[in-house]
Structure 1
Amino acid sequence: MHALAHPSASPALIDRYGRQIRYLRVSVTDRCDLRCSYCLPKGHTSFEEPAHWLSFVELERLIGAFARLGVARVRLTGGEPLLRRDLPQLAGRLKALGLADLSLSTNATQLARHAEALKAAGVDRINVSLDTLDRGCFEHITGRDAYAQTMDGLMAAKAAGLAPIKLNMVAMRGVNEHEIARMAEFCFEHGFILRLIETMPMGDTGRNAQYLDLGPVRDTLVAQFGLLPEALELGGGPARYWRTVDGAGRIGFITPISQHFCASCNRVRLAVDGTLYLCLGQEAKFEFRPLLRGGATDAELEAAIRHAIDLKPERHEFTEQPTKIMRFMSQTGG
């Protein structure tokens, strides 16, 4: 482990390109109860074995090491994170580490049962994946007739006081692009924040998705709703936000293909098996499970984290090499 020692005395995680890593996305399971067309391939069954999953004790210890090195934001993801038993318990343990922001990404099918417990555990905010307001289209995209469950979960989260609630809508040409304005109105009505996301060529599922350039979509929405650029940073992520004139409604645009944000990337992703992925569009990674199960000290974990951050590439190559990434999104962590 001595080879991983880092010369810097600063607690901050600074990569080779001067970016400070403040944001860790943590997958607690690679399993999901939906089969979204751009994420999981049909018939996929090659999930990680539970014995390979990091335990709550291991997650708490590793995330604690990241927190000591300046990571202040943690997002729990999957797969579908609420399929992991006792997730609110883990959320409470992580919040106790002193994180400035603890959030959750979910498809909301299980959210009605857990919303109040998540709020009580200290989850600050949630992102809900919702690509359509049409039940038939929902089933077409996700492979399940679970629209009612998702809406029940979404409204339970609102009632529990989880806020802000952001709706992540993957925009797909010929699939749901005609619903974008309707989704914006729905979000304005309920006080949600809409985030439109371009599909990414991750695995065959992502490459086969109907990519839609969000530039023209943004121009249309700006004209239709009189949107203004949002000066405030909302959540530390890559979305560029626009707001309504009265400030009550917001729409964010996540454009990894048409307008990438690599120069300001502040995040890394921890998969459920302890693999740290340094970039969605590159294969750079570091395995933490052997260290956690091999008796590594806290100092050795911190040195390993610094070493891993040094592996973070400058940018993805989705445009130049769209077939490069063979893993799909649920394997990486949302």
Structure 2
Amino acid sequence: MRLRKKPVLCNYYVTYRCNARCGFCDIWERPSPYVTLENAQRNFEGLKRLGVKIIDFTGGEPLLHRQLPELLEMAQNLGFITTVTTNGLLYPKQAEKLQGKIDMLHLSLDSPNKAEHDKSRGVACYDFVMESIKIAKTLGERPDILFTVFEHNVEQIKEVYHKVCLPNDLLLILNPVFDYNNVDTGLQLSPQSLKALKQWSKKKYVYLNEGFIALRQDGGNHIDRPVCKAGSTTLVISPDNKLVLPCYHLGLEEVPINGDLYNVYRSEKVQKLIALEGRLPECEGCVINCYMQPSFAVELNKYWWKALPSTLKYNYLKGTWKAMFR
């Protein structure tokens, strides 16, 4: 049963450019402009009319956009919940300008070992993450640690949790890796690793959407009975001001917005593409977290129930529900 028909989330790619070279990501390989304030303002108004609640300012590395503070402030002024994930390289220099403008700030950290983390990111950024934590705390911010889980680093969760998160009173977000396109993300998470992740989800200050685990155990999305509602729950906007459908990672078609996001999204062409969500051949077996999370939130099924405890836990610990009344 569908609980909500309006989209929930916008993944707004402010640029595809990045100052890191992560081996499990290919976004940074794409040429890219930067989002303009004028287009963003118009799109924010369209998103508001469509019912979107959360804008994830993403990339690439979103902090490369020199007007990110203005973009965030514009979004918050319209009542959106804002979220940003960063590798930390630029945060120490920009922290004061960003203060109070990000409702959910995620710092990426994939290993407690400096050399391992820097190698996975293709650039020396471990020390910047540690510095970012200190600076954020002095400014009254409470970032989350986003830990992308691979088969090779499951055992390192414990050290990150005890040495980084608990001493700094930070929430640890466990983000199971996923495959897409031709990107090599390593071995799939084993049943033993999925079991370990489920156990970690019960810990204090740990967030893991258990729907992610259940979906992987079920073999991912199946096109004959799709779980994915990427098109109807999530709008993806590119740096060159196009609507990407049915999702960024599949990206079959890009539709120019031309200053009228509301009507473009509601157009017959876009709605036909949305109707294919989770049903395309490429969608078979998909477990991409950024589209499954909002998908779980709008359909009353077993994944909705699996996701509910972690959703309530995160909102309680972070107080993000208060932003809904801003």
What TM-score comes out, normalization by structure 2 length?
A: 0.72
- Pairwise CA distance, 1:72: 1.4
Is 1:76 paired with 2:57? yes
Provide the residue aligned with 1:20 in structure 2.
6
Provide the residue aligned with 1:233 in structure 2.
none
- Pairwise CA distance, 1:220: 2.7
Partners of 1:318 and 1:173 in 2: how far apart? 24
Is the alpha carbon distance of 1:257 and 1:279 closer, same or farther for their aligned partners in structure 2, counting shifts above 3 Å? farther
Provide the residue aligned with 2:156 in structure 1.
179
Partners of 1:62 and 1:264 in 2: how far apart? 21
- Pairwise CA distance, 1:152: 0.9
- Pairwise CA distance, 1:95: 1.4
Query: Does the aligned pair in 1 maintain the 2:88–2:125 contact within 8 Å?
Result: no
Provide the residue aligned with 1:12 in structure 2.
none
More divergent stretch after superposition (184-193 vs 61-70): 184-193
Provide the residue aligned with 2:207 in structure 1.
251
Q: Report sequence identity in percent.
A: 21
Structure 2 letter corresponding to 1:199 = V
Is the alpha carbon distance of 1:23 and 1:150 closer, same or farther for their aligned partners in structure 2, counting shifts above 3 Å? same
Once the two structures are superposed, the pairs formed by residues 145-160 of structure 1 within 5 Å of their partners are 145-160=124-139
Is 1:135 paired with 2:107? no
Provide the residue aligned with 1:287 in structure 2.
255
- Pairwise CA distance, 1:303: 1.4
Partners of 1:279 and 1:90 in 2: how far apart? 22
Is the alpha carbon distance of 1:276 and 1:301 closer, same or farther for their aligned partners in structure 2, counting shifts above 3 Å? closer
Which 5+ residue runs of structure 2 have no aligned equivalent? 222-226, 291-326
Which has the higher relative contact order, 1 or 2, with Cα contacts under 8 A spaced 6 or more apart? 1
Match for residue 277 of structure 2 among 304, 308, 314 = 314
- Pairwise CA distance, 1:138: 1.4
Aligned length: 270
Provide the residue aligned with 1:203 in structure 2.
181
Provide the residue aligned with 1:192 in structure 2.
170
Partners of 1:217 and 1:284 in 2: how far apart? 33
Partners of 2:190 and 2:37 in 1: how far apart? 38
Partners of 1:136 and 1:318 in 2: how far apart? 35
Which 5+ residue runs of structure 1 have no aligned equivalent? 1-14, 228-241, 293-299, 330-334
Once the two structures are superposed, the pairs formed by residues 224-303 of structure 1 within 5 Å of their partners are 242-244=201-203, 248-253=204-209, 254=212, 257-258=216-217, 260=220, 262-263=227-228, 266-277=233-244, 278-280=246-248, 282-289=250-257, 291-292=258-259, 300-303=260-263
Partners of 1:178 and 1:47 in 2: how far apart? 36
Is the alpha carbon distance of 1:217 and 1:181 closer, same or farther for their aligned partners in structure 2, counting shifts above 3 Å? farther
- Pairwise CA distance, 1:89: 1.6
- Pairwise CA distance, 1:73: 0.9
Partners of 1:72 and 1:220 in 2: how far apart? 32
Partners of 1:131 and 1:66 in 2: how far apart? 33
Is the alpha carbon distance of 1:158 and 1:306 closer, same or farther for their aligned partners in structure 2, counting shifts above 3 Å? farther
Is the alpha carbon distance of 1:257 and 1:32 closer, same or farther for their aligned partners in structure 2, counting shifts above 3 Å? farther
Match for residue 17 of structure 2 among 22, 25, 31 = 31
Is the alpha carbon distance of 1:197 and 1:280 closer, same or farther for their aligned partners in structure 2, counting shifts above 3 Å? farther
Structure 2 letter corresponding to 1:89 = E
Deviation by residue 1:268-327 (Cα, 9 ceiling, x = unmatched): 3212122323325533444235x13xxxxxxx53111223355223327667478xx9xx
Once the two structures are superposed, the pairs formed by residues 38-53 of structure 1 within 5 Å of their partners are 38-40=24-26, 46-48=30-32, 50=33, 53=34
Query: Does the aligned pair in 2 maintain the 1:31–1:80 contact within 8 Å?
Result: yes
- Pairwise CA distance, 1:79: 0.3
Helix, strand or coil for the counterpart of 2:208? strand
- Pairwise CA distance, 1:94: 1.8
Is the alpha carbon distance of 1:303 and 1:45 closer, same or farther for their aligned partners in structure 2, counting shifts above 3 Å? closer
Deviation by residue 1:41-99 (Cα, 9 ceiling, x = unmatched): 8xx75412x3xx43111011112111122111111111000011121122112211222
- Pairwise CA distance, 1:24: 0.6
Is 1:219 paired with 2:205? no
Partners of 2:216 and 2:197 in 1: how far apart? 19
